[in-house]
Amino acid sequence: VRASTRDDALALDAGDSLAHVRTRFVLPPSVIYLDGNSLGALPRGVTERVHDTIEREWGHDLISSWNEHGWWDAPRRIGARLARFIGAEAGEVVVSDSTSVNLYKLLHAAISNRAERSVLLTERHGFPTDRYVIDSVARERGLTVEACEPGAVLARIDERVAVVALTHVDYRTGRRHDLEAVTATAHEAGALVVWDLCHSVGAMPLDVDRAGVDYAVGCTYKYLNGGPGAPAFAFVAHRHQARFAQPIAGWHGHARPFAMEEAYAPAAGASRLLTGTPPILSLVALEAALGAFEGVDLHDVRAKSVALSEWFITLVDERVPEATVVSPRDAGDRGSHVSVAHPSAYAVVQALAARGVIGDYREPDVMRFGVAPLYTRFVDVWDAVDRLVEVLRTQEWRRPEHQIRRTVT
Amino acid sequence: VRASTRDDALALDAGDSLAHVRTRFVLPPSVIYLDGNSLGALPRGVTERVHDTIEREWGHDLISSWNEHGWWDAPRRIGARLARFIGAEAGEVVVSDSTSVNLYKLLHAAISNRAERSVLLTERHGFPTDRYVIDSVARERGLTVEACEPGAVLARIDERVAVVALTHVDYRTGRRHDLEAVTATAHEAGALVVWDLCHSVGAMPLDVDRAGVDYAVGCTYKYLNGGPGAPAFAFVAHRHQARFAQPIAGWHGHARPFAMEEAYAPAAGASRLLTGTPPILSLVALEAALGAFEGVDLHDVRAKSVALSEWFITLVDERVPEATVVSPRDAGDRGSHVSVAHPSAYAVVQALAARGVIGDYREPDVMRFGVAPLYTRFVDVWDAVDRLVEVLRTQEWRRPEHQIRRTVT
């Protein structure tokens, strides 16, 4: 087979039906951004929407904006808009708080509905913050956490398990669980599932209702491009809504919030997941950001994600013998980022950044490169790998400045 | 005594040492805004700061902004800046999540440090969302909630009480607890205190460290003008920091967040109150908003708050016999809003709004008027009462459009 070329990349871009969507984003010139799996790029329109919310809604219309400009309904309205991204219905999704706080609420809700069972099943090597919440809730509720290897989850589900809590796509390796199979197996054993969709939502179609998912959370600042720390979503299937409870009871989740009743009466539906006043500026930024997906079919997004990822893997295989692809080789087992191991991964990531290629590093030796189908081009992948080749050939990653550890990696 | 006049108001404004601070705010023309106790007005500089964060930091510098532009440290940095508003030290305050979520965390923390006790003491008629959280945490931890009349709190504190949880200034009446006396009495009985400072922070000097307060929360969108739903603060006294735990454990509260350890190891200090990724756009808006307090002494703020409130009460007493001031008459027992009862309070508030006077309504018959010393003028108070007189004289509040109940009141 002939070696791949930059012209191949340009040809792939020329045939890309989503190529035009890139113009919906503000992207810095001379940067190849492959970290949209951590912080999505800025969609056009966000600046203007937030400006309007500050100057006209807050500054001019002041308190009346809670009614007049839909601030009060924002968590439900944006939740309804997010529903299509995960295959849910309006009324099953709200947006508010962080992923961790929402996971805390949903784990409590799920456990309450399986009070007779003793095990909270999760995986090893998952995103640590999920694990901290899982461990904390289990301790509070008197459950035992069993954390198995990701590949062993199906075999470990049995009738002792109250809840299976997993991240759909692994933050480090990009490994993807079979959401449908795990959910079905959990249900056969009488357990409930809580899925963390942080690393899949916006990068592929999801269908939580068809899969029968019970509860799910996910963040909105990765492939959904909602902005730094944009509030997370939480999903509760309709069939659980009549009888679920979460412990952080607040007035935004009350059935009659302005009656100012002393007793908590939970709102119907996913609204009862709401607690306190949500951060409106961050919420409207997210709402505006979702405009970048206007008219975009998530199946096309997934197809391009797979094509970009395979292009990346092909190029690393061909051109970078020093590095090892540690993400699954089968696209069906992968999310939308590709992880590559190198003994000096940290310094290589820094050296790449100095050459304008932005990926990120994860302990202990992983370089992550996310492809964001709405704005990543095939030629970006070519150029990124090309610079990786150069960084390794010149050994410029050995320079002292690339060894300095920063606060946030 | 002669009746008060508008010229008296103008004279009071002429002698106001804080009058110049009003220019630091964007205020709509022809509106008298007396709802800063619900949503503070927009400080100048916020729009520009948020714009810069979106366009330059997010849009151009992307993921590197977590380091380069201090996003990661924002909850601690802004917490340190808020410390002076409550008389705390840097390292005792973080900003993140909502007041309700923070209250949930702190109640758990406090109860854990009084595990042998059985009662969570609070007041009746407090802000309901606090009560929902109090009831929920008590239920989870097996405590009994005792809710007494606000005036009876001191007498009800005894050795059964684990935690006293109160709102410093009552949202409805403006009644203010004696924070020092309650804290001291609780400590004498071996109990801990958790204060909600939502309706006092930014309107008066507070000194939680001198009073020996254990834990406190408060919101930042009222007198601190942080914007709609701006993240709340949480305070933990230094002496508790070595041994307190909160259940919503997340990576932002981990001692080594980027080591991605599977076991939770709480960060030192108030940082362990942090959970997930905070909403950066809302955080930077708050940070910019605090600039309005530059060079402002909180004692001067309080002095003006008292003067404005007394001016308001004087005018209502003189000119509005149909309404009854239900806030305490003694300024020492009051916060920075004055509540007035009228049998048709809801419609009167709507009719006032139609005349450009923005107060708000609280069940069952209360009109609230907040004075915000940074931007409320004495003449605003005169004009507001003058229009209240007109609304009642003409009975225009009886118009059908003023009876329509809106979602948010």
The DSSP call for residue A214 is: -
Cα–Cα distance for residue pair B296/B223, rounded to 1 Å: 13
Tokens of B324: 């009854």
Q: Which of A354, A360, A228 is nearest to B69 (CA)?
A: A228
Instruction: Tell me the CA distances in angstroms from A181 to A155, A189, A345, B65, one per residue in order.
Output: 11, 12, 34, 39
Could you report the per-residue pLDDT of B42-54, keeping only the tens digit for each?
999 999 999 999 9
Nearest by CB: B47 against A39, A54, A263: A54
> Catalytic residue at B24?
no
Could you report the per-residue pLDDT of B257-281, keeping only the tens digit for each?
988 899 999 999 999 999 999 999 9
Compare all CA atoms of chain A with the CA of B281 and give the residue at the minimum distance: A282
Q: Please give the pLDDT value at position A371.
A: 98
Residue to mutate among A143, A260, A406, with most B CBs inside 10 A, is A260
pTM, rounded to two decimals: 0.97
Please name the residues in contact with A328: beta carbons below 8 A apart, sequence gap of 6 or more.
Answer: A173, A174, A175, A176, A334
Q: Please give the pLDDT value at position B1.
A: 72
Q: Which of B38, B52, B32 is nearest to B202 (CA)?
A: B38
| Cα A127 to the center of its chain, rounded Å | 11
> Catalytic residue at A378?
no
Chain B closest-CA separation from residue A170 CA (Å): 13
Nearest by CB: B67 against A137, A259, A408: A408
φ and ψ at residue B305, rounded to 5 degrees = -60, -45
Cα–Cα distance for residue pair B381/B32, rounded to 1 Å: 8
Cα–Cα distance for residue pair B100/B170, rounded to 1 Å: 16
Q: Tell if the CB–CB gap between A281 and B58 is shorter than 8 Å.
A: no
Could you report the per-residue pLDDT of B284-306, keeping only the tens digit for each?
999 999 999 999 999 999 999 99
The DSSP call for residue B351 is: H
Nearest by CB: B262 against A26, A60, A128: A128
Q: Please give the pLDDT value at position A259.
A: 86
Q: Which of A1, A20, A7 is nearest to A382 (CA)?
A: A7
Cα–Cα distance for residue pair B161/B116, rounded to 1 Å: 10
Could you report the per-residue pLDDT of A266-302, keeping only the tens digit for each?
999 999 999 999 999 999 999 999 999 999 999 999 9
pLDDT score of B389 more than 90: yes
Using DSSP, state whether B261 is helix, strand or coil. Answer: coil
The DSSP call for residue B266 is: B
> Catalytic residue at B222?
yes
The DSSP call for residue B396 is: G
Cα–Cα distance for residue pair B179/B336, rounded to 1 Å: 16
Cα–Cα distance for residue pair A291/B78, rounded to 1 Å: 31
- Does any CB of chain B come closer than 8 Å to the CB of residue A145? no
Q: Which residues of A touch B140 (CB under 8 A)?
A: 140, 247
Cα–Cα distance for residue pair A225/B225, rounded to 1 Å: 27
Q: Please give the pLDDT value at position A409.
A: 61
φ and ψ at residue A165, rounded to 5 degrees = -120, 115
Q: Tell if the CB–CB gap between B64 and A407 is shorter than 8 Å.
A: no
In angstroms, the first-to-last Cα distance of chain B is: 38
Q: Please give the pLDDT value at position B124.
A: 96
Q: Which of A172, A180, A209, A138 is nearest to A369 (CA)?
A: A172
> Catalytic residue at A196?
yes
Low-confidence spans in chain A with pLDDT less than 50: none
- Residue environment code for B188-224, b if the CB has 16+ CB neighbours within 10 A, otherwise e: ebebbbbbbbbbbbbbbebebbebebbbbbbbbbbbb
Q: Please give the pLDDT value at position B406.
A: 79
